[in-house]
Structures are given as C-alpha cells and as structure tokens.
Amino acid sequence: PGVPASCRVKVAQDFASHDNTLDDNGHGTNVSGIVAGIATGTQLAVFDVFDGPDAFDSVVIAGINWAIANQFSYNISAINMSLGDTSQNASLCSNTNPFSPSYNPFVTPIANARSAGILTVISAGNSAFTAGLALPACTPQAVSVGAVYDSNVGGLNWGICSDNATAADKVTCFSNTTSYLSLLAPGALITAGGNTLGGTSQAAPHVAAAIA
C-alpha cells in the first residue's frame, strides 16, 4: 500500500488472517478496481474479511468500525461490502435483540457509520429472490444495490437462472430485489482489476464510487 507514491491503495489489512491470503479468486481485486475506475480521484482502504469462502459477522463489523475510527485520517466517505448470505428478508432487518433468532448485528455499526457521515453500500445478493434481500443488505440505513447489465452481452446462464437476452439497464435474473431495495447499478459483466465478473458484488462498488 502506498508504494509507489502514486498507488491509490493506502491501506490493505487482513482482518481474517487464517487463510494467509489477502484476496480470493480475484473478487476483491475486481470490486476495488471498479471503485478505482469510477471514482478516479479516490484512494482506497481495502480489507480482507474472508477466510476462504466464509466471513464472520464480527470480522466484517471490525472493518466497519475501523473505517469509523479512521475516518478523518483517510477522509472516508463510503464503505463497500460486496458480500452477503443466502437468506431472504422481505422487510428491513432491524432487530437489535441479540437473544432473538432474527438478530441483526450490523444495525448498530452501520447506523454508527451513517451518523459519522459514512454511507455503507451492500450488494443485494445473487439468489434471484423477487421479494427479499440478503443479510446484511437488509440492514436499515444501508444502501442496498441490485444488478443490471451494462450492455448487450448475449444470452447468459448463471446456474441459478438464465437470461436469454441481455441489454443495458436490464435487471439480471440473479439479482435479489424487493420493495425496499435502494438502487440498481451495472453488475454484469464488469471488467476491472484484471477480472471480468458478474454479480450484485459488482453493482455495489459502482454506487460506493459514486458516493465517494
């Protein structure tokens, strides 16, 4: 980070160090590259919160809290979280009771970020739900983002669903949606950081970059 001086990545921190790698399969590099390509004047603090395919809530929240604590040192205005589970939440996940089965541990840290002037942008999920978002995208005060195509890229099979035809601004079949979804943004197919990927993970950083 920061070497050479023109490097726009100013912080790279491994919050989930057990797998001994900062990125998995190019996903984080692609997401960061989208932010860098859209918001050309920004610098980035990038965090690895995954151990292999899994991420613990406490580790993700540690990243949010780091951003709040270091907001003024790095002029942080937006947090991008291209992650989520496979739950379907038809309404906002506002339960702050830790003894409840529907407890959402992200409510307080995301509200704290918002109070500090930092918007938290989260991918809506790729389960093709038409009436619910994944957690933590369902968190109050989060900016949830679904995916649209950026152009006509032909027919695509995503495994969970297929789009026989594609076009700019067409909602992808895999993108979760519901009445409280905040925004849609380009999520397929996005080339950045040396990788071409599709998902709501790619849509969210477009919005985080626009905020920045």
Coil, helix or strand for 41? coil
Is the CB of residue 78 less than 8 Å from the CB of residue 121? yes
- What backbone torsions phi and psi does residue 144 show, to the nearest 5 degrees? -90, 140
Beta strands at 142-149 and 119-123: parallel, antiparallel or unpaired: parallel
In the predicted structure, residue 24 carries a pLDDT above the cut 70:
no
For residue 60, the model assigns a pLDDT of 97
Confidence of residue 172 (pLDDT cuts 50, 70, 90): very high
Of 54, 42, 43, whose CA–CA distance to 15 is shortest?
54
| pLDDT tens track for 101-142 | 999 999 999 999 999 999 999 999 999 999 999 999 999 999
Give the rounded percent of residues in the chain with a pLDDT score beyond 70. Answer: 99
Residues in CB range of 73: below 8 A, 6 or more apart: none
H or E element that contains 68: helix 57-69
Sign of the C-alpha dihedral, residues 65, 69, 73, 75?
positive
Q: Is the pLDDT of residue 18 over 90?
A: no
Segment 177-196 mean pLDDT: 97
pLDDT digits (tens, 9 = 90+) for 140-153: 999 999 999 999 99
**pTM exceeds 0.75:** yes
Instruction: Give pairs for 153-156: CB < 8 Å, separation 24+.
Output: 153/188, 153/189, 156/188, 156/198
pLDDT value of position 23: 64
Over the stretch 29-78, which tens digit does the pLDDT of each residue have? 999 999 999 999 999 999 999 988 889 999 999 999 999 999 999 999 99
Mean per-residue pLDDT of the chain:
95
